[in-house]
Structure 1
Amino acid sequence: MPFKLIQALGLCLPASIFAAINIIDYTPLTNDRFMDDASFFAAGLDLSGVAIANTSQGPAFTGDDGGRWVTMISPNVFITAHHFAPNVGQSVTFYQTNSALGGSFTASIETTMQIGDTDIRVGTLDTSLPDDYAYYNISTATISSEVPTAITGPNALTFGRSEGDYATSLDMAVGHNNINIFYPEQTFAGSTGDAIVMTFDDPGIVYESQFSLGDSGAPAMILEGGELTIVGINWFVGTLSDGETEISGLSFLPNYQSEIQAFIDENEEVAPVPEASAGALLLGVGALTLALGMRRSL
Protein backbone atom coordinates (compact mmCIF):
# COMPACT_ATOMS: atom_id res chain seq x y z
CA MET A 1 0.00 0.00 0.00
CA PRO A 2 1.45 3.42 -0.89
CA PHE A 3 1.99 6.08 1.73
CA LYS A 4 2.43 9.85 1.89
CA LEU A 5 4.82 11.36 4.39
CA ILE A 6 3.50 14.18 6.52
CA GLN A 7 6.64 15.44 8.23
CA ALA A 8 9.95 14.59 9.83
CA LEU A 9 9.81 14.93 13.57
CA GLY A 10 12.13 17.90 13.84
CA LEU A 11 11.26 20.29 10.99
CA CYS A 12 9.80 23.78 11.32
CA LEU A 13 6.00 23.52 11.37
CA PRO A 14 3.12 25.46 12.95
CA ALA A 15 2.81 25.32 16.74
CA SER A 16 -0.54 23.53 16.49
CA ILE A 17 1.25 20.49 15.06
CA PHE A 18 3.66 20.23 18.02
CA ALA A 19 2.33 17.58 20.40
CA ALA A 20 3.25 14.69 22.62
CA ILE A 21 3.51 11.12 21.42
CA ASN A 22 -0.04 9.85 20.92
CA ILE A 23 -0.61 6.77 23.10
CA ILE A 24 -3.98 5.01 23.14
CA ASP A 25 -5.38 4.82 26.71
CA TYR A 26 -2.50 7.00 27.94
CA THR A 27 -2.40 7.96 31.60
CA PRO A 28 0.50 9.62 33.43
CA LEU A 29 0.72 6.72 35.88
CA THR A 30 0.89 3.98 33.24
CA ASN A 31 2.96 5.72 30.57
CA ASP A 32 5.11 8.53 32.01
CA ARG A 33 8.43 7.13 33.18
CA PHE A 34 9.13 9.70 35.87
CA MET A 35 5.81 9.46 37.60
CA ASP A 36 7.60 6.41 39.04
CA ASP A 37 4.33 4.67 39.75
CA ALA A 38 3.93 0.92 40.31
CA SER A 39 1.44 0.82 37.41
CA PHE A 40 4.01 2.15 34.87
CA PHE A 41 3.87 -0.67 32.32
CA ALA A 42 7.63 -0.63 31.61
CA ALA A 43 8.57 -0.49 35.30
CA GLY A 44 10.43 -3.81 35.18
CA LEU A 45 12.81 -2.68 32.41
CA ASP A 46 16.09 -0.82 32.86
CA LEU A 47 15.66 2.52 31.04
CA SER A 48 18.64 4.23 32.67
CA GLY A 49 20.48 4.47 29.33
CA VAL A 50 17.75 6.59 27.68
CA ALA A 51 17.82 10.36 28.27
CA ILE A 52 16.75 13.73 26.87
CA ALA A 53 19.48 16.36 26.64
CA ASN A 54 18.30 19.74 27.91
CA THR A 55 20.05 21.73 25.21
CA SER A 56 20.38 25.44 24.62
CA GLN A 57 20.41 25.22 20.83
CA GLY A 58 17.80 27.18 18.94
CA PRO A 59 14.37 25.58 18.52
CA ALA A 60 13.80 23.60 15.32
CA PHE A 61 10.09 24.51 15.34
CA THR A 62 7.63 26.57 17.34
CA GLY A 63 7.00 24.90 20.66
CA ASP A 64 10.32 23.03 20.66
CA ASP A 65 12.06 23.36 24.04
CA GLY A 66 15.47 22.25 22.77
CA GLY A 67 15.33 18.70 24.16
CA ARG A 68 17.20 16.06 22.14
CA TRP A 69 17.10 12.28 22.68
CA VAL A 70 20.21 10.31 23.63
CA THR A 71 20.30 6.50 23.94
CA MET A 72 23.48 4.74 25.02
CA ILE A 73 24.93 1.88 22.95
CA SER A 74 28.19 1.57 24.92
CA PRO A 75 29.36 3.14 28.19
CA ASN A 76 30.36 6.33 26.33
CA VAL A 77 28.72 6.11 22.86
CA PHE A 78 25.13 7.17 22.15
CA ILE A 79 22.77 7.13 19.17
CA THR A 80 20.11 9.63 18.05
CA ALA A 81 18.54 11.15 14.89
CA HIS A 82 20.84 13.11 12.59
CA HIS A 83 18.25 15.81 11.89
CA PHE A 84 17.45 16.37 15.58
CA ALA A 85 20.66 15.71 17.52
CA PRO A 86 22.22 17.56 20.47
CA ASN A 87 25.26 19.68 19.74
CA VAL A 88 28.79 19.18 21.01
CA GLY A 89 29.28 20.69 24.46
CA GLN A 90 25.67 20.34 25.59
CA SER A 91 24.81 18.35 28.69
CA VAL A 92 22.57 15.35 29.24
CA THR A 93 21.37 13.82 32.50
CA PHE A 94 20.65 10.11 32.93
CA TYR A 95 18.53 8.76 35.78
CA GLN A 96 19.46 5.46 37.41
CA THR A 97 15.83 4.56 38.12
CA ASN A 98 12.42 5.91 37.12
CA SER A 99 12.54 8.36 40.02
CA ALA A 100 13.84 11.87 39.45
CA LEU A 101 14.81 11.86 43.13
CA GLY A 102 17.08 8.84 42.78
CA GLY A 103 20.61 8.65 41.46
CA SER A 104 21.52 10.64 38.36
CA PHE A 105 24.56 11.17 36.17
CA THR A 106 25.32 14.18 33.95
CA ALA A 107 27.84 14.31 31.10
CA SER A 108 28.52 16.51 28.08
CA ILE A 109 28.32 15.67 24.38
CA GLU A 110 31.93 15.33 23.22
CA THR A 111 31.69 14.32 19.53
CA THR A 112 28.99 13.38 17.00
CA MET A 113 29.03 11.80 13.53
CA GLN A 114 26.39 10.98 10.91
CA ILE A 115 26.30 7.36 9.72
CA GLY A 116 26.71 7.69 5.95
CA ASP A 117 23.78 9.59 4.43
CA THR A 118 21.26 8.19 6.93
CA ASP A 119 19.26 9.95 9.63
CA ILE A 120 21.35 8.08 12.20
CA ARG A 121 23.86 10.07 14.26
CA VAL A 122 26.21 8.57 16.82
CA GLY A 123 28.34 10.40 19.33
CA THR A 124 30.39 10.20 22.49
CA LEU A 125 30.04 11.55 26.01
CA ASP A 126 32.99 13.20 27.69
CA THR A 127 32.62 10.74 30.58
CA SER A 128 31.50 7.11 30.48
CA LEU A 129 28.33 6.02 32.26
CA PRO A 130 28.81 4.52 35.73
CA ASP A 131 28.68 0.72 35.83
CA ASP A 132 25.13 0.66 37.23
CA TYR A 133 23.62 2.49 34.20
CA ALA A 134 22.42 0.63 31.12
CA TYR A 135 23.51 0.66 27.52
CA TYR A 136 21.87 -1.36 24.77
CA ASN A 137 22.89 -3.59 21.88
CA ILE A 138 21.52 -3.08 18.37
CA SER A 139 18.92 -5.72 17.42
CA THR A 140 20.16 -8.58 15.26
CA ALA A 141 16.93 -8.73 13.17
CA THR A 142 18.33 -7.65 9.78
CA ILE A 143 16.16 -7.34 6.63
CA SER A 144 17.91 -7.56 3.25
CA SER A 145 14.95 -7.00 0.90
CA GLU A 146 15.56 -4.52 -1.92
CA VAL A 147 11.84 -3.73 -2.26
CA PRO A 148 9.24 -2.50 0.22
CA THR A 149 8.28 -5.48 2.32
CA ALA A 150 5.45 -6.34 4.70
CA ILE A 151 6.74 -7.56 8.04
CA THR A 152 5.22 -9.76 10.69
CA GLY A 153 7.15 -7.57 13.07
CA PRO A 154 7.78 -7.62 16.79
CA ASN A 155 5.97 -5.48 19.31
CA ALA A 156 8.34 -2.63 20.16
CA LEU A 157 8.67 -0.35 23.15
CA THR A 158 8.37 3.22 21.82
CA PHE A 159 9.48 6.51 23.37
CA GLY A 160 8.29 10.09 22.93
CA ARG A 161 7.52 13.34 24.70
CA SER A 162 4.76 13.23 27.33
CA GLU A 163 1.38 14.97 27.38
CA GLY A 164 2.23 16.13 30.91
CA ASP A 165 4.13 19.22 32.01
CA TYR A 166 7.64 18.10 32.99
CA ALA A 167 11.15 19.50 33.01
CA THR A 168 12.80 18.61 29.68
CA SER A 169 15.01 15.82 31.04
CA LEU A 170 11.93 14.18 32.64
CA ASP A 171 9.58 14.60 29.66
CA MET A 172 9.52 10.91 28.69
CA ALA A 173 6.48 8.78 27.82
CA VAL A 174 6.55 5.12 26.77
CA GLY A 175 4.16 3.21 24.51
CA HIS A 176 4.00 0.17 22.22
CA ASN A 177 3.52 -0.61 18.54
CA ASN A 178 4.11 -3.40 16.03
CA ILE A 179 6.62 -3.03 13.19
CA ASN A 180 4.64 -3.59 9.96
CA ILE A 181 6.59 -2.50 6.86
CA PHE A 182 10.22 -2.25 5.72
CA TYR A 183 11.16 0.49 3.22
CA PRO A 184 14.70 0.32 1.79
CA GLU A 185 16.64 3.43 0.83
CA GLN A 186 14.09 6.13 1.60
CA THR A 187 14.92 9.86 1.62
CA PHE A 188 13.36 12.19 4.19
CA ALA A 189 14.67 15.28 6.03
CA GLY A 190 17.71 15.34 3.75
CA SER A 191 18.81 11.82 4.74
CA THR A 192 18.61 8.48 2.93
CA GLY A 193 18.45 5.08 4.58
CA ASP A 194 16.50 1.94 5.32
CA ALA A 195 13.29 2.57 7.27
CA ILE A 196 10.76 0.55 9.23
CA VAL A 197 7.17 1.67 9.70
CA MET A 198 4.59 1.18 12.44
CA THR A 199 0.94 1.69 11.50
CA PHE A 200 -1.45 3.31 13.97
CA ASP A 201 -4.57 1.23 13.37
CA ASP A 202 -4.73 -1.75 15.73
CA PRO A 203 -6.91 -1.35 18.84
CA GLY A 204 -5.62 -4.72 20.06
CA ILE A 205 -2.16 -3.31 20.84
CA VAL A 206 -1.89 -2.17 24.45
CA TYR A 207 -0.76 1.50 24.55
CA GLU A 208 -0.43 1.70 20.76
CA SER A 209 1.57 4.81 19.85
CA GLN A 210 2.02 7.35 17.05
CA PHE A 211 5.01 9.72 17.03
CA SER A 212 4.79 13.51 16.90
CA LEU A 213 7.12 16.52 16.70
CA GLY A 214 9.83 16.41 19.33
CA ASP A 215 10.06 12.61 19.29
CA SER A 216 12.83 12.37 16.66
CA GLY A 217 15.89 10.54 17.92
CA ALA A 218 14.07 8.49 20.54
CA PRO A 219 14.60 4.71 20.37
CA ALA A 220 12.28 1.81 19.64
CA MET A 221 13.32 -1.30 21.56
CA ILE A 222 12.53 -4.99 21.43
CA LEU A 223 13.43 -7.87 23.73
CA GLU A 224 15.98 -10.33 22.37
CA GLY A 225 17.10 -13.11 24.67
CA GLY A 226 15.41 -11.30 27.54
CA GLU A 227 17.50 -8.16 26.94
CA LEU A 228 16.34 -4.77 25.61
CA THR A 229 17.87 -4.09 22.21
CA ILE A 230 17.40 -1.10 19.89
CA VAL A 231 15.71 -1.77 16.55
CA GLY A 232 15.04 1.79 15.35
CA ILE A 233 15.43 5.53 15.91
CA ASN A 234 12.37 7.79 15.40
CA TRP A 235 12.57 9.60 12.04
CA PHE A 236 9.25 10.64 10.42
CA VAL A 237 5.45 10.36 10.47
CA GLY A 238 2.89 10.15 7.68
CA THR A 239 -0.23 8.39 6.37
CA LEU A 240 -0.94 5.51 4.03
CA SER A 241 -2.62 6.30 0.71
CA ASP A 242 -6.04 5.64 2.21
CA GLY A 243 -5.60 9.03 3.89
CA GLU A 244 -6.60 7.53 7.24
CA THR A 245 -3.96 5.06 8.45
CA GLU A 246 -1.22 6.98 10.24
CA ILE A 247 2.33 5.68 10.34
CA SER A 248 5.48 6.26 12.37
CA GLY A 249 8.81 5.78 10.58
CA LEU A 250 12.18 4.87 12.06
CA SER A 251 15.72 4.38 10.83
CA PHE A 252 16.27 0.60 10.79
CA LEU A 253 19.45 0.23 12.85
CA PRO A 254 20.34 -3.45 12.30
CA ASN A 255 21.20 -2.75 8.65
CA TYR A 256 23.87 -0.28 9.85
CA GLN A 257 25.28 -2.47 12.61
CA SER A 258 28.79 -2.66 11.09
CA GLU A 259 29.11 1.13 10.70
CA ILE A 260 27.77 1.75 14.20
CA GLN A 261 30.06 -0.89 15.69
CA ALA A 262 33.06 0.61 13.90
CA PHE A 263 32.34 3.95 15.59
CA ILE A 264 32.01 2.23 18.97
CA ASP A 265 35.29 0.34 18.46
CA GLU A 266 37.10 3.53 17.47
CA ASN A 267 35.75 5.62 20.33
CA GLU A 268 35.13 3.20 23.18
CA GLU A 269 36.80 4.17 26.42
CA VAL A 270 38.62 1.27 28.02
CA ALA A 271 38.79 1.35 31.78
CA PRO A 272 42.40 1.38 33.04
CA VAL A 273 43.68 -1.90 34.47
CA PRO A 274 44.26 -1.43 38.20
CA GLU A 275 47.82 -1.86 39.43
CA ALA A 276 48.27 -5.20 41.13
CA SER A 277 48.96 -5.01 44.83
CA ALA A 278 51.09 -7.52 46.69
CA GLY A 279 49.42 -10.91 46.51
CA ALA A 280 46.70 -9.73 44.08
CA LEU A 281 45.66 -11.78 41.03
CA LEU A 282 43.97 -10.56 38.40
CA LEU A 283 11.08 -11.48 11.65
CA GLY A 284 8.99 -13.56 9.06
CA VAL A 285 8.71 -11.33 5.88
CA GLY A 286 6.60 -11.36 2.70
CA ALA A 287 6.90 -9.26 -0.45
CA LEU A 288 4.66 -6.21 -0.79
CA THR A 289 5.04 -3.70 -3.65
CA LEU A 290 4.55 -0.10 -2.51
CA ALA A 291 4.42 3.07 -4.59
CA LEU A 292 5.73 6.14 -2.78
CA GLY A 293 3.79 9.40 -2.83
CA MET A 294 4.63 12.96 -1.85
CA ARG A 295 6.73 13.05 1.33
CA ARG A 296 8.18 15.24 4.01
CA SER A 297 10.32 14.42 7.04
CA LEU A 298 9.30 15.03 10.65
Structure 2
Amino acid sequence: MTGIARALLAPFASLLFAHAVHAVVIVDFSTETNDRFANDPDFIGSAFDWSGVGRSSAGQWATLVALDVFLSANHYHPEVGSSVTFYNSNDPAGASTTVTVTGGQRLGSSDLWIGLLATPLTSTYTSYDYQTETISSFAEFASSSIAGRRAKITGHSDTTWSTTQDLAVGENYLESWISNNEVAGTTDHALVSLYNTPGGLTYEALLEPGDSGAPLFLTSGDTLYLTGINWWTGSVATSTTTYQASGFSYVGNYATDIAAYISANSLSAVPEPTNFALLSGLVGLAFAYSRRRHQHR
Protein backbone atom coordinates (compact mmCIF):
# COMPACT_ATOMS: atom_id res chain seq x y z
CA MET A 1 0.00 0.00 0.00
CA THR A 2 1.42 3.36 -1.00
CA GLY A 3 0.32 6.94 -0.51
CA ILE A 4 1.04 10.09 -2.51
CA ALA A 5 -0.16 13.56 -1.57
CA ARG A 6 -0.48 15.96 -4.49
CA ALA A 7 -1.41 19.63 -4.39
CA LEU A 8 -4.26 20.76 -6.61
CA LEU A 9 -4.06 24.17 -8.23
CA ALA A 10 -6.19 27.01 -9.59
CA PRO A 11 -9.31 27.05 -7.41
CA PHE A 12 -12.46 28.33 -9.05
CA ALA A 13 -16.13 28.23 -8.15
CA SER A 14 -19.06 27.97 -10.48
CA LEU A 15 -22.20 26.82 -8.73
CA LEU A 16 -24.90 25.16 -10.76
CA PHE A 17 -28.14 25.24 -8.80
CA ALA A 18 -29.87 22.54 -10.75
CA HIS A 19 -33.46 21.77 -9.99
CA ALA A 20 -33.30 19.59 -13.08
CA VAL A 21 -32.22 16.15 -11.90
CA HIS A 22 -29.34 14.33 -13.60
CA ALA A 23 -28.42 10.69 -13.05
CA VAL A 24 -25.33 9.90 -11.02
CA VAL A 25 -22.61 9.04 -13.55
CA ILE A 26 -21.59 5.38 -13.19
CA VAL A 27 -19.00 3.72 -15.44
CA ASP A 28 -20.46 0.66 -17.21
CA PHE A 29 -23.89 1.42 -15.73
CA SER A 30 -26.68 -1.09 -16.24
CA THR A 31 -30.09 -1.37 -14.60
CA GLU A 32 -29.31 -4.92 -13.45
CA THR A 33 -26.03 -4.08 -11.73
CA ASN A 34 -26.68 -0.56 -10.43
CA ASP A 35 -30.40 -0.06 -9.75
CA ARG A 36 -31.69 -1.18 -6.36
CA PHE A 37 -35.24 -1.86 -7.51
CA ALA A 38 -34.25 -3.91 -10.52
CA ASN A 39 -34.11 -6.53 -7.75
CA ASP A 40 -31.49 -8.43 -9.71
CA PRO A 41 -28.91 -10.80 -8.15
CA ASP A 42 -26.20 -8.91 -10.08
CA PHE A 43 -26.98 -5.66 -8.24
CA ILE A 44 -23.72 -4.48 -6.65
CA GLY A 45 -25.61 -3.67 -3.46
CA SER A 46 -27.50 -6.97 -3.23
CA ALA A 47 -25.55 -8.13 -0.15
CA PHE A 48 -26.64 -5.08 1.87
CA ASP A 49 -29.78 -3.81 3.58
CA TRP A 50 -31.04 -0.61 1.90
CA SER A 51 -34.34 -0.41 3.79
CA GLY A 52 -33.15 2.59 5.83
CA VAL A 53 -32.76 4.80 2.73
CA GLY A 54 -36.00 6.64 1.89
CA ARG A 55 -37.22 9.25 -0.60
CA SER A 56 -39.87 11.92 -0.38
CA SER A 57 -42.39 12.30 -3.20
CA ALA A 58 -40.47 15.46 -4.20
CA GLY A 59 -37.25 13.47 -4.44
CA GLN A 60 -35.38 14.46 -1.27
CA TRP A 61 -33.38 11.74 0.48
CA ALA A 62 -33.57 10.48 4.07
CA THR A 63 -31.19 7.93 5.65
CA LEU A 64 -32.15 6.46 9.02
CA VAL A 65 -29.80 6.74 12.01
CA ALA A 66 -32.62 5.65 14.33
CA LEU A 67 -35.97 4.17 13.31
CA ASP A 68 -37.53 7.64 13.48
CA VAL A 69 -34.49 9.92 12.89
CA PHE A 70 -32.75 10.52 9.56
CA LEU A 71 -29.94 12.51 7.95
CA SER A 72 -30.13 14.52 4.73
CA ALA A 73 -28.60 17.66 3.19
CA ASN A 74 -29.39 21.02 4.75
CA HIS A 75 -29.81 22.63 1.34
CA TYR A 76 -32.07 19.87 0.03
CA HIS A 77 -33.97 17.80 2.59
CA PRO A 78 -37.53 16.53 3.13
CA GLU A 79 -39.55 19.45 4.48
CA VAL A 80 -41.42 19.32 7.78
CA GLY A 81 -44.95 18.15 6.94
CA SER A 82 -43.83 16.17 3.89
CA SER A 83 -43.74 12.36 3.73
CA VAL A 84 -40.89 9.93 3.17
CA THR A 85 -41.31 6.39 1.83
CA PHE A 86 -39.08 3.45 2.82
CA TYR A 87 -39.09 -0.04 1.25
CA ASN A 88 -38.08 -3.04 3.36
CA SER A 89 -36.67 -4.98 0.39
CA ASN A 90 -35.35 -4.37 -3.12
CA ASP A 91 -38.60 -5.67 -4.59
CA PRO A 92 -40.41 -2.72 -6.22
CA ALA A 93 -43.74 -4.41 -5.40
CA GLY A 94 -42.67 -5.22 -1.83
CA ALA A 95 -43.83 -3.76 1.46
CA SER A 96 -43.23 -0.07 2.12
CA THR A 97 -43.94 2.49 4.81
CA THR A 98 -44.66 6.19 4.31
CA VAL A 99 -44.08 8.46 7.31
CA THR A 100 -44.52 12.21 7.89
CA VAL A 101 -41.57 14.45 8.82
CA THR A 102 -42.46 16.31 12.03
CA GLY A 103 -39.25 18.20 12.82
CA GLY A 104 -35.58 18.68 12.18
CA GLN A 105 -32.60 21.03 12.28
CA ARG A 106 -29.27 21.83 10.70
CA LEU A 107 -26.22 20.32 12.38
CA GLY A 108 -23.92 23.19 13.28
CA SER A 109 -22.89 25.21 10.23
CA SER A 110 -22.60 22.09 8.07
CA ASP A 111 -24.72 20.97 5.13
CA LEU A 112 -26.10 18.14 7.27
CA TRP A 113 -29.75 18.18 8.32
CA ILE A 114 -31.21 15.81 10.91
CA GLY A 115 -34.93 15.09 10.75
CA LEU A 116 -37.59 13.44 12.90
CA LEU A 117 -40.39 11.15 11.71
CA ALA A 118 -43.87 11.08 13.28
CA THR A 119 -43.53 7.43 14.32
CA PRO A 120 -40.68 4.91 14.35
CA LEU A 121 -40.53 2.36 11.57
CA THR A 122 -40.82 -1.28 12.56
CA SER A 123 -37.88 -3.62 13.02
CA THR A 124 -38.34 -4.89 9.45
CA TYR A 125 -36.46 -1.70 8.48
CA THR A 126 -32.91 -0.79 9.43
CA SER A 127 -31.18 2.23 10.90
CA TYR A 128 -27.49 2.60 10.19
CA ASP A 129 -24.52 2.86 12.46
CA TYR A 130 -22.51 5.93 11.55
CA GLN A 131 -18.91 7.07 11.69
CA THR A 132 -17.70 8.64 14.94
CA GLU A 133 -14.04 9.29 14.07
CA THR A 134 -13.27 13.03 14.15
CA ILE A 135 -11.28 14.41 11.19
CA SER A 136 -10.37 18.09 10.96
CA SER A 137 -7.44 18.24 8.52
CA PHE A 138 -5.97 16.53 5.48
CA ALA A 139 -3.22 15.06 7.66
CA GLU A 140 -5.79 13.51 9.99
CA PHE A 141 -7.70 12.18 7.00
CA ALA A 142 -4.57 10.64 5.49
CA SER A 143 -3.93 8.68 8.70
CA SER A 144 -7.60 7.87 9.38
CA SER A 145 -9.43 4.56 9.07
CA ILE A 146 -11.40 5.79 6.05
CA ALA A 147 -8.65 7.15 3.75
CA GLY A 148 -8.43 5.19 0.51
CA ARG A 149 -11.44 3.05 1.36
CA ARG A 150 -13.86 1.76 -1.26
CA ALA A 151 -17.29 3.32 -0.74
CA LYS A 152 -20.84 2.89 -2.05
CA ILE A 153 -22.09 6.11 -3.68
CA THR A 154 -25.83 6.62 -4.21
CA GLY A 155 -27.85 8.92 -6.45
CA HIS A 156 -30.49 9.13 -9.16
CA SER A 157 -30.66 6.40 -11.79
CA ASP A 158 -30.30 6.67 -15.56
CA THR A 159 -33.34 4.37 -15.73
CA THR A 160 -36.87 5.75 -15.33
CA TRP A 161 -38.26 4.84 -11.91
CA SER A 162 -40.97 6.27 -9.69
CA THR A 163 -39.46 8.97 -7.49
CA THR A 164 -39.44 6.97 -4.26
CA GLN A 165 -37.82 3.96 -6.02
CA ASP A 166 -35.12 5.91 -7.84
CA LEU A 167 -31.88 4.71 -6.23
CA ALA A 168 -28.72 3.87 -8.15
CA VAL A 169 -25.47 2.67 -6.59
CA GLY A 170 -21.91 3.11 -7.82
CA GLU A 171 -18.51 2.92 -6.13
CA ASN A 172 -15.46 5.07 -5.63
CA TYR A 173 -12.43 5.45 -3.40
CA LEU A 174 -12.34 8.08 -0.66
CA GLU A 175 -9.24 9.91 -1.85
CA SER A 176 -9.04 13.32 -0.26
CA TRP A 177 -10.21 15.91 2.20
CA ILE A 178 -10.77 19.65 2.01
CA SER A 179 -10.63 21.63 5.25
CA ASN A 180 -12.94 24.62 5.63
CA ASN A 181 -14.45 24.12 2.19
CA GLU A 182 -16.90 26.92 1.32
CA VAL A 183 -19.76 26.18 -1.06
CA ALA A 184 -22.72 28.53 -1.49
CA GLY A 185 -22.39 30.08 1.95
CA THR A 186 -21.76 26.81 3.81
CA THR A 187 -18.26 26.25 5.21
CA ASP A 188 -17.35 22.79 6.43
CA HIS A 189 -14.83 20.01 5.91
CA ALA A 190 -15.45 17.98 2.75
CA LEU A 191 -14.73 14.31 2.17
CA VAL A 192 -13.79 13.87 -1.52
CA SER A 193 -13.71 11.16 -4.16
CA LEU A 194 -12.20 11.65 -7.63
CA TYR A 195 -13.61 10.39 -10.92
CA ASN A 196 -11.94 8.97 -14.04
CA THR A 197 -8.69 8.29 -12.26
CA PRO A 198 -6.08 5.63 -13.13
CA GLY A 199 -7.02 2.35 -11.47
CA GLY A 200 -10.64 3.39 -10.96
CA LEU A 201 -13.29 0.90 -9.92
CA THR A 202 -15.50 -0.97 -12.40
CA TYR A 203 -18.57 1.04 -11.38
CA GLU A 204 -16.74 4.27 -10.56
CA ALA A 205 -19.24 7.03 -9.82
CA LEU A 206 -19.53 10.81 -10.02
CA LEU A 207 -22.34 12.75 -8.33
CA GLU A 208 -24.56 15.01 -10.40
CA PRO A 209 -26.90 17.93 -9.58
CA GLY A 210 -30.00 16.58 -7.85
CA ASP A 211 -28.13 13.90 -5.86
CA SER A 212 -27.90 16.14 -2.77
CA GLY A 213 -28.76 14.46 0.50
CA ALA A 214 -28.23 10.85 -0.61
CA PRO A 215 -25.97 8.68 1.55
CA LEU A 216 -22.34 7.59 1.16
CA PHE A 217 -21.60 4.24 2.82
CA LEU A 218 -18.53 2.27 3.77
CA THR A 219 -19.00 -1.46 4.20
CA SER A 220 -17.82 -4.28 6.42
CA GLY A 221 -19.01 -7.76 5.55
CA ASP A 222 -22.68 -7.36 4.67
CA THR A 223 -23.14 -4.17 6.74
CA LEU A 224 -23.41 -0.57 5.53
CA TYR A 225 -21.92 2.19 7.69
CA LEU A 226 -23.11 5.75 7.06
CA THR A 227 -20.04 7.87 6.32
CA GLY A 228 -21.22 10.94 4.41
CA ILE A 229 -24.10 12.80 2.84
CA ASN A 230 -23.84 14.05 -0.76
CA TRP A 231 -22.96 17.77 -0.82
CA TRP A 232 -21.41 19.01 -4.10
CA THR A 233 -19.95 18.02 -7.44
CA GLY A 234 -17.11 19.80 -9.18
CA SER A 235 -13.61 19.68 -10.63
CA VAL A 236 -10.10 20.00 -9.24
CA ALA A 237 -6.72 20.36 -10.96
CA THR A 238 -3.16 19.29 -10.33
CA SER A 239 -0.25 20.82 -12.23
CA THR A 240 -0.83 18.24 -14.98
CA THR A 241 -4.38 16.88 -14.68
CA THR A 242 -7.93 18.04 -14.00
CA TYR A 243 -10.23 15.63 -12.21
CA GLN A 244 -13.96 15.67 -11.72
CA ALA A 245 -14.83 15.22 -8.07
CA SER A 246 -17.65 14.50 -5.63
CA GLY A 247 -17.85 16.15 -2.20
CA PHE A 248 -19.58 14.77 0.89
CA SER A 249 -20.46 16.16 4.30
CA TYR A 250 -18.57 13.87 6.71
CA VAL A 251 -20.89 12.40 9.33
CA GLY A 252 -18.21 11.47 11.87
CA ASN A 253 -17.53 15.06 12.91
CA TYR A 254 -21.16 15.39 14.04
CA ALA A 255 -21.54 12.04 15.80
CA THR A 256 -22.02 13.69 19.20
CA ASP A 257 -24.71 16.01 17.85
CA ILE A 258 -26.47 13.13 16.10
CA ALA A 259 -26.48 11.01 19.25
CA ALA A 260 -27.76 13.95 21.31
CA TYR A 261 -30.62 14.58 18.87
CA ILE A 262 -31.59 10.90 18.90
CA SER A 263 -31.49 10.81 22.70
CA ALA A 264 -33.67 13.92 22.99
CA ASN A 265 -36.21 13.12 20.25
CA SER A 266 -36.34 9.48 19.22
CA LEU A 267 -39.13 7.19 20.40
CA SER A 268 -37.23 4.14 19.17
CA ALA A 269 -34.40 2.30 20.86
CA VAL A 270 -31.25 4.40 20.59
CA PRO A 271 -28.57 2.62 18.51
CA GLU A 272 -24.96 2.84 19.54
CA PRO A 273 -22.90 4.40 16.75
CA THR A 274 -19.98 2.29 15.61
CA ASN A 275 -16.51 3.83 15.47
CA PHE A 276 -15.95 2.39 11.98
CA ALA A 277 -13.90 4.41 11.35
CA LEU A 278 -24.92 21.20 -2.22
CA LEU A 279 -24.81 18.64 -4.45
CA SER A 280 -27.02 21.21 -6.20
CA GLY A 281 -23.99 22.67 -7.81
CA LEU A 282 -20.76 22.47 -9.73
CA VAL A 283 -17.76 23.78 -7.86
CA GLY A 284 -14.04 23.86 -8.57
CA LEU A 285 -11.69 23.59 -5.62
CA ALA A 286 -8.02 23.36 -4.65
CA PHE A 287 -6.80 20.73 -2.22
CA ALA A 288 -4.30 17.97 -1.62
CA TYR A 289 -5.31 14.37 -2.04
CA SER A 290 -4.07 10.96 -1.07
CA ARG A 291 -3.58 8.28 -3.68
CA ARG A 292 -3.51 5.64 -0.97
CA ARG A 293 -6.18 3.08 -1.65
CA HIS A 294 -6.96 -0.09 0.21
CA GLN A 295 -9.83 -2.35 1.02
CA HIS A 296 -11.12 -3.17 4.48
CA ARG A 297 -9.61 -6.30 5.87
Under TM normalisation by the shorter chain, which class is it? 0.7 to 0.9
Is the Cα–Cα contact under 8 Å of residues 148 and 184 in structure 1 kept in the other structure?
Answer: no
Structure 1 counterpart of 2:255: 257
Query: Structure 1 residue 153: deviation in Å?
Result: 2.1
SS in 2 for 1:136: coil
Matched residue count: 262
Change over 3 Å in CA distance of 1:14–1:125 after alignment to 2 = closer
SS in 1 for 2:164: helix
Distance 1:204 1:190 in 2: 32
1:173 aligns with 2:168: yes
SS in 1 for 2:242: coil
Is the Cα–Cα contact under 8 Å of residues 202 and 208 in structure 1 kept in the other structure?
Answer: no
1:159 aligns with 2:164: no
Structure 2 counterpart of 1:214: 210
1:183 aligns with 2:178: yes
Distance 2:77 2:160 in 1: 22
Is the Cα–Cα contact under 8 Å of residues 185 and 193 in structure 1 kept in the other structure?
Answer: yes
Query: Structure 1 residue 224: deviation in Å?
Result: 4.2
1:239 to 232, 235, 238: 235
Change over 3 Å in CA distance of 1:148–1:236 after alignment to 2 = farther
Amino acid at match of 2:193: M
Is the Cα–Cα contact under 8 Å of residues 33 and 173 in structure 1 kept in the other structure?
Answer: yes
Q: TM-score, normalised by structure 1?
A: 0.81
Distance 1:153 1:86 in 2: 31
Structure 1 counterpart of 2:45: 42
2:223 to 212, 221, 227: 227
Rg bigger for which structure? 1
Structure 1 counterpart of 2:188: 193
Amino acid at match of 1:83: H
Q: Tell me, which stretches of 5 or more residues in structure 2 are unaligned?
A: 1-6, 270-275, 278-283, 287-297
Deviation per residue, 1:44-78 (Å, 9 max, x gap): 100000011113xxxxxxxxxxx101000001000
Q: Tell me, which stretches of 5 or more residues in structure 1 are unaligned?
A: 56-66, 272-282, 285-290, 294-298
Structure 1 counterpart of 2:65: 73
Deviation per residue, 1:68-112 (Å, 9 max, x gap): 010000010000000011111111110010011111111011101
* Superposed CA RMSD: 2.5
| Structure 1 residue runs of 4 or more that deviate by more than 6 Å after TM superposition | none
Query: Structure 1 residue 149: deviation in Å?
Result: 5.5
Change over 3 Å in CA distance of 1:141–1:270 after alignment to 2 = closer
SS in 2 for 1:83: coil
Identity %: 35
